[in-house]
Amino acid sequence: MEFSELPEEIILQCLAFVDVHDVAKVATVCSRFCGIVEVDLFWRLQYERLWGAPTLSDAVCWKALYQLKMHSWKRAIPMFNDNPAQAVEILFDERRVGRSPEELTAFLLETPHLHPQMVGSLLGSEEMAQFGLTERFLSKFDFAGLEPDEALRVLLARVLLPPSSQKMRVFLKAIGARFLACNPDHLLGDLDAVYVMLYCVLVLNTDLHNRLVKNKLSKEHFTALVINGPHCPHVPHEYLEALYERIKRNRLCVRPTDNEESGSSTTTLWDSVKSRIRSMFSA
C-alpha cells in the first residue's frame, strides 16, 4: 500500500512530525496532500507539535492560529539572536513563554533557527544560572559514561560556548556539575578538577587546531602542564594521553569560526589558562 493510500487520519498523524513547508511542496504535485493541508486537524497537530495544546474553544480556526503564532515566533527569533536576554524578558512579558526554567528550556531546545552561540550566551549569564535555566537545560543531556571532552562534544552539537570569559566560566562550571551528577565516581573526583579539565580541553583544542598557532603542544608537554597545575596532580598520565589523542584526531567546534582568527602562541594560551584557573580557586 502506498503512503498516500493510507486513511486520512493516519496520514495526518504522520504529517504532524513533518515541517509545514515540506508538506506544502508535496501538495503542489499531489492532489491527496493538497486536500490534507486544508484539513483543520492538520494545522492543529502542527500547532501542538511546536507549542503544545492551548486552552481554546472547539470553534477555533487552527490554520489561522498556527499562522498567527508562527508570525509571532518569526519576530522573536531574530530578536533573540540579537539580544537573547532582552528577548527572553519580552517573551515572558508577552506570555509567549512561561516564566519558568522548564518552559524556557523547551523554547531553547525546540525553537528552530536560534543561534547556538546566543543560546550559550544566555546559559552563561549569572542571572539565568541563578534562575535555574542553565541547570535545567543541561539536565536534558546525559553524560553518563563519557569523559569531559566527550561530554563537551555532545553539548556542542546543540549549543556553542559564549564568547564572554565570565559567561564561559559560569557555563563551564555548570557543565562540570552536570558531568559529575552523571558520573559521581569519576576519577577527577570533584567539581574543581572537572572545571580545570574542561578548560584545558578547550585550550588544547585551540592549540592543536588553530592554524595560526605554529608551535603545537606535544603530548608530553600537555600532560606535564595539567598534572603540575591546580587540582589535577592525581590524574594518570595515560588518561591525559588518551584525551590528547582524541582532541588531536577530532576537533571540537566551539565557536562559529573555530577561533581561527586567534593568533596566540602556545605559551600565551597556557599562561592565560593557568592564570585564570589559579585566580578561580585561590580566594
Q: What is the mean pLDDT of residues 78-101?
A: 88
Distance CA 108, CA 171 (A): 15
- The b/e string for 16-44 (b: 16+ C-beta within 10 A; e otherwise) is beeebeebeebbeeeeebeebbebeebbb
Q: Provide the pLDDT for residue 56.
A: 54
**C-beta atoms surrounding 170 within 10 Å:** 20
Q: What is the mean pLDDT of the chain?
A: 81
Q: Provide the pLDDT for residue 231.
A: 83
Give the model confidence (pLDDT) of 207-228 as tens digits: 999 888 888 989 999 999 899 8
Please give the grid coordinates belonging to residue 219.
603530548
Q: Provide the pLDDT for residue 280.
A: 46
| 261 SS3 class | coil
* 243 has pLDDT over 90: yes
273, 276, 278, 283: CA torsion to nearest 10: -170
Please give the grid coordinates belonging to residue 212.
595560526
* 159 has pLDDT over 90: yes
- Is the pLDDT higher at 267 or at 244? 244
* 269 has pLDDT over 70: no
Q: Provide the pLDDT for residue 75.
A: 76
| H and E: helices and strands count for the chain | 16, 0
83, 163, 186, 178: CA torsion to nearest 10: -10
Least confident range from 84-88, 128-132, 277-281: namely 277-281
Q: What is the mean pLDDT of residues 87-96?
A: 84
- Is the pLDDT higher at 144 or at 75? 144
Distance CA 154, CA 131 (A): 24
Percent of the chain whose predicted confidence (pLDDT) is above 90: 46
* 195 has pLDDT over 80: yes
Q: What is the mean pLDDT of residues 147-172?
A: 93
Q: Provide the pLDDT for residue 124.
A: 96
> CA 78 → CA 81, 158, 254, distances in Å?
5, 18, 22
Distance CA 121, CA 107 (A): 15
Q: Provide the pLDDT for residue 48.
A: 78
Q: How confident is the model at residue 268 (pLDDT cuts 50, 70, 90)?
A: very low
* 262 has pLDDT over 60: no
Classify the phi-psi angles of 145: left when phi > 0, otherwise alpha if psi is within -120 to 50, otherwise beta: left
Number of C-alpha atoms within 13 angstroms, CB side, residue 142?
Answer: 2
On whether the pTM is more than 0.85, the answer is: no
Distance CA 194, CA 131 (A): 23
* 141 has pLDDT over 70: yes
